[in-house]
Amino acid sequence: MPTPGALESSPRESADATLTHGSARSLLITMLGELVWRTGEPVWTSTLVHIFAGLGIEEQTARQAIARASASGWITPERHGREVRWSLTDKLTHIFETGSRRVYSLSDPYTSWDGTWLALWVIIPQTLRRARRPLYAGLTWAGFGNPAPGLWLTPHVERSGEVGSLLEQLELKEHTFAFTGALDAVGLPRDQIVERGWDLAALRARYEEVWQAMDALHPKTEDETLFTHIRLISEWQEFPRVDPQLPEAILPDWVGRRVARRIEALRAEWTPIVRRRFAELNTA
């Protein structure tokens, strides 16, 4: 499962009530996470190309994605004659370990939230303007909203350490003011702050599309199950980039949590079939 900055996905290819096709890069990351990281088994190039084909990705594009993943330091090759098999690097393993926790938390209602917010006011100097994009990506991944210029807010105060590391990495710590506390009646009410901080209407619409798309998922063969599994998990792992995971107290019965629980159930149902088919395809 990816994290921001480290694995930045390509634009979506469709916007109807179906699962998005995803880029070859994002689908490869899903394959590596679900099939290689989970099983601990290296994967042959031919196995990846076969799965790519089932996902509608041409062989040349698939091989380019694999080569770029290697150049990025995510996978390392082991040649056997004319064949190559790939293992995960420590770099990608760490990305999966940290990113997967965020993905699996999408179904968490955070009922223990006590009303405390973490607020950041970040002033980016001209000399560090290149830090703007990774800062925004990192803060969005951590669940922060941006209700006013320079102001970032999240109910996930437990992520302050993660954010502190990001600010240090980008050399922005000395340009940041950080506070924790409850909202006060002297200012905007919570509902207006949430409305300004996050585009929940668009997010809700996308979740509803995915819910409808899952109604049509009825894979019959093992290959169909494998391909459907990869596409669904690839969709799922993109949501932490846009879903702030606001607590139940702010968003009761949030559709995102229902979608996440449904994906978790399908994943549990399909995983034995997927791993069995992967083992068959990946036999030397």
Output the pLDDT for position 162.
Answer: 93
Please indicate, yes or no, whether residues 15 and 102 belong to a single structural domain of this protein. Answer: yes
Per-residue pLDDT of 115-129, as tens digits, reads 999 999 999 999 999
pTM: 0.86
Q: Evaluate whether residue 23 is within a structural domain.
A: yes
Q: Is residue 193 part of a domain?
A: no
Where in the sequence is the domain holding 247, given as residue range(s)? 1-112+202-284
Amino acid 233: pLDDT: 95
- Can you tell me the distance from the alpha carbon of 95 to that of 168, in angstroms, rounded to the nearest whole number? 19
Q: Are residues 82 and 211 in the same domain?
A: yes
Residue 8 sits in the same domain as residue 40: yes
Residues 15 and 122 reside in one and the same domain: no
Mean pLDDT to the nearest integer, 40-47: 93
Q: Which residues contact 209 (CB under 8 A, 6 or more apart)?
A: 15, 16, 17, 18
Q: Write down the H helix ranges in the chain.
A: 24-31, 45-54, 59-71, 90-104, 132-141, 160-169, 190-197, 200-215, 222-236, 255-281
Instruction: State whether 7 and 143 are in the same domain.
Output: no
Based on the domain organization, do 126 and 11 belong to the same domain?
A: no
- Rounded CA separation 260/60 (Å): 33
Distance CA 177, CA 119 (A): 8
Q: Is the pLDDT of residue 6 over 90?
A: no
> In terms of domains, do 173 and 214 share one?
no
Which CATH number goes with the domain that contains 210?
A: 1.10.10.10
140 token code pair: 């969005």
In a domain, 225, yes or no: yes
Mean pLDDT, rounded, for 247-271: 96
100 is a domain residue: yes
Last residue of a domain, one of 181, 215, 237: 181
What pLDDT shows up at residue 4? 39
| 39 and 96 together in one domain | yes
What's the CA gap between 62 and 50, in Å, rounded?
9
Tell whether 189 is covered by a domain: no
| Residue 126, domain CATH | 3.30.70
Task: State the DSSP H helix or E strand holding residue 179, giving kind and residue range, or none if neither.
Answer: strand 176-181
Question: What mean pLDDT is predicted for residues 15-25?
Answer: 67
Total number of domains constituting the chain = 2
Residues 6+ apart with CB under 8 A from 1: 33, 95, 96, 99, 100, 102, 103, 237
pLDDT tens column, 62-86 = 999 999 999 999 999 999 888 999 9
Residue 63 and residue 101 in one domain:
yes
Structure tokens at 244: 């702030």
Same domain, 107 and 131: no
Task: Let me know if residue 258 belongs to a domain.
Answer: yes
Asked if 219 and 266 count as a contact pair (C-beta separation under 8 A), the reply is no
Q: Residue 197: inside a domain, yes or no?
A: no
Tell me: do 106 and 128 sit in the same domain: no
Domain identity same for 124 and 161 = yes
The CA angle 148-177-245, to the nearest 5 degrees, is 55
Q: Position of tokens 């449904």? A: 262
> Which of the listed residues 181, 214, 237 is the one where a domain comes to its end?
181
- Is the CB of residue 225 less than 8 Å from the CB of residue 277? yes
**Contact predicate 259/21, CB 8 Å:** no
Residue 4 included in any domain: yes
pLDDT for the residue 18:
66
Long-range CB contacts for residues 194-202, cutoff 8 Å, separation at least 24: 194/145, 194/246, 194/250, 196/145, 196/147, 196/148, 197/145, 197/146, 197/147, 197/153, 197/244, 198/145, 198/244, 198/246, 200/251
